[in-house]
Structure 1
Amino acid sequence: MPLALSILDQSTVASGRTPPEAIRETLALAKLADQWGYRRYWLAEHHNSASHAGTAPEILIAAIAATTQRIRIGSAGVMLPHYSALKVAEQFKVLEAIAPGRIDLGVGRAPGSDGRTAFALNPNANEAADRFPQQVQELLGWLGDGLPANHPFARVSAQPEGPTRPEVWVLGSSDFGAQLAAYFGLPYCFAHFITDGRGSEEAMALYRDGFRPSKHLAAPQGAVAVFALTASTEAEAWRLFRSRELWRLSRDKGVFPPLPSVEEAEAYPYTEAERAQVERMRARALVGAPEQVVAKLAAVAAAHGAQEVAVLTPCHDPAARQASFRLLAEANAALPAAA
């Protein structure tokens, strides 16, 4: 049967184009995703990066909510230690008022940046990261669960109050987030694209096994966020993947450049060690013709016991990225329904 597919967008900056262009490419793709039947459109948060322009997912969510009709829109995620839980609750309650029943609030603990930038965002960043579980509890309180009577901010309310609330997710790439989501009875998404799947199945198992039902969620609701890329032919998909290969080599060295073009990747003088690393990437990459990629995504979902897959597709050519998501949606919709 068809998969539950969503999109994760980092507003990737491509070489030869500007960060504002990356933001506009995000807005254009979200409108198309709404038409193609994707369940959610999630925006990432990064700072001080030449690779990613998405520094303020809450603003992008508002823009997308105003130009779409059906799709859920959310953050993947807001890096909560940078901020006041009250302010995040207020922001997302405003978003919920703009698009009732369509807002997701995904939160994470990672800085989404380097240490200096994290300090610039919040001089108490290290202490705040240690308070992440308490921040999540406060966030849930201000979104409608209420704070304990003895909490110092128990009489502080987050406006605007309304009949619906954002759907809160915990995002992570380690056991910590999985256990936290299980404790609070929240949906959980593992960032498979960050770790290349290392530890992902174990984290999802911890989430399922430790899940405590809450008033918002009776049973575990897991998702996995993956890199995937397709095109009209398998050969073309692998050609487009060359941009990602070269970018990942840089990332693994601690350098985050704009996404190179296919031509730049083809002209790059790879060392033997780098070629070996690329071959390892290709062996596990979710790349190919549309039917091949859908089958690979289904296998990933099954291996993780996930109900949903969020797809990340950085691609130098925005038209090729749009085509990848359109072809993926079409191939997925063509799967037979369950008997």
Structure 2
Amino acid sequence: MRLSVLDQSVARAGRPHDESIRHTVALAQACEALGYQRFWLSEHHALPTLVGTAPEVLMAAIAARTSRIRIGSAGVMLPHYSPFKVAEQFRVLDALAPGRIDLGVGRAPGSDQRTARLLNPDLGAAANFPQQVLELKAWVNGEDLPPGHPGQGVRALPMAATAPQLWMLGSSGYGAQLAGHYGLPYAFAHFITDGEGCKSALDLYRATFRPGVLERPTTAVCLSALAAETEEQAWHLFRSRERARIDRRSGKFGPLLPPAEAARPYDPGEQAELALLRERAIVGSARQVRDKLLARAAQYEVDELVIVTWAWDPAAQRRSYELLAGAFELA
């Protein structure tokens, strides 16, 4: 079982945003030492809960401070940008960390529509996503675009012996089918849907896969997990995330609260959602979380899990990854 990490640079109440960014870099260094396969970074804009807005910049900082772990975006929201410019950025990253760069792309805005318009006034760009992926694939891998294409004969530099690994990210069947069509590796965002649609998307990906960038299907599932020394301590730490999830239901976004301050009265609808959230949550001691993760891996027939861990205390977040690395004997 390969384990990897996705960090979103979560905003924490009472702590400055820049601290979250620096902690992400330090966490990547720690995860490399612990034996994790890859370290991915998300892209969100103008969202008070998440301050990781520029994964490509963070990737450069992490590349300079690590030597083995793969580093990637999870992902670049491609409709915001020019595929050519993204290819250039990631080819530079690959020059800094040869053979260690993952370029995960997604179609979702990663923000509200107003912010999306500020990033790219053409909100219809998402309709061109399949073409954007095709262009990005060509430029990243040094392939030629077909005759008549405006970019035919243009190269994304620097060229090198290695190239970024393109991944398709998604939380529905759309991205799964596109990944299968282009022969790309596919990662499902289980932590966004709480598992809804995960198995059907993976099945669709495998059913539609045809050799392209890869010769055979490659899958990963990104899911939320939190481990602590004891089950009781883990559920206490989980209060921060459950408050954020319940608040999000009513459109309230803010920094992650300390667990001791996270409790508030919940209405009947919120209580029902909270019960379902706790039922699905992968929370507990290291052994309990390991067993739940292995069960998910068997359920979805994947050989790599990407772990997302939210905790108000950065030390608690790091300890969770340490405990899981020990439970899976990564080092």
| TM-score, normalization by structure 2 | 0.98
Corresponding residue pairs, total: 330
Deviation at 1:334, TM superposition (A): 7.5
| SS of alignment partner, residue 215 of structure 2 | coil
Deviation at 1:155, TM superposition (A): 1.9
Aligned pair 1:279/2:294, yes or no? no
The sequence identity of aligned pairs, in percent, is 55
Which amino acid in structure 1 is aligned with residue 88 of structure 2? E
Aligned twin of 1:187: 185
Aligned twin of 1:312: 308
| SS of alignment partner, residue 145 of structure 1 | coil
Aligned twin of 1:198: 196
Whole-angstrom distance in 1 between the partners of 2:52 and 2:274: 27
Which amino acid in structure 2 is aligned with residue 319 of structure 1? A
Whole-angstrom distance in 1 between the partners of 2:59 and 2:301: 28
Aligned pair 1:207/2:201, yes or no? no
Aligned pair 1:107/2:105, yes or no? yes
Which amino acid in structure 1 is aligned with residue 297 of structure 2? A
Aligned twin of 1:165: 163
Per-residue displacement from partner, 1:36-80 (whole Å, max 9, x unpaired)? Answer: 000000000000011011000000000000001110000000000
Contact 2:34 2:330 (8 Å CA) reproduced: no
Contact 2:229 2:285 (8 Å CA) reproduced: yes
Whole-angstrom distance in 1 between the partners of 2:194 and 2:249: 12
Whole-angstrom distance in 1 between the partners of 2:16 and 2:99: 33
Aligned pair 1:296/2:292, yes or no? yes
Quick one: which of 16, 20, 37 aligns to 1:18? Answer: 16
CA 334–222 in structure 1, closer or farther in 2 if over 3 Å, else same: closer
Structure 1: segments with no counterpart, 5+ residues: none
Per-residue displacement from partner, 1:136-186 (whole Å, max 9, x unpaired)? Answer: 000011112221122121021111011110000000001000000000000
Whole-angstrom distance in 2 between the partners of 1:87 and 1:295: 42
Which amino acid in structure 2 is aligned with residue 140 of structure 1? K
Aligned pair 1:133/2:118, yes or no? no
Whole-angstrom distance in 1 between the partners of 2:40 and 2:62: 10
| TM-score, normalization by structure 1 | 0.95
Aligned twin of 1:122: 120
Aligned pair 1:233/2:236, yes or no? no
Aligned twin of 1:52: 50
Any residues of structure 2 matched to 1:28-107 within 5 Å, and which? Answer: 28-107=26-105
Alpha-carbon RMSD across the aligned residues, in angstroms, is 1.2
Whole-angstrom distance in 2 between the partners of 1:256 and 1:105: 28
Aligned pair 1:247/2:244, yes or no? yes
Which amino acid in structure 2 is aligned with residue 26 of structure 1? T
Which amino acid in structure 2 is aligned with residue 73 of structure 1? I
Deviation at 1:302, TM superposition (A): 1.4
Which amino acid in structure 2 is aligned with residue 19 of structure 1? H
Which amino acid in structure 1 is aligned with residue 147 of structure 2? A
Which amino acid in structure 2 is aligned with residue 244 of structure 1? R
Whole-angstrom distance in 1 between the partners of 2:184 and 2:250: 34
Per-residue displacement from partner, 1:238-263 (whole Å, max 9, x unpaired)? Answer: 11001111000011222221111101
The runs of at least 4 aligned residues of structure 1 exceeding 4 Å deviation read none
CA 263–182 in structure 1, closer or farther in 2 if over 3 Å, else same: same
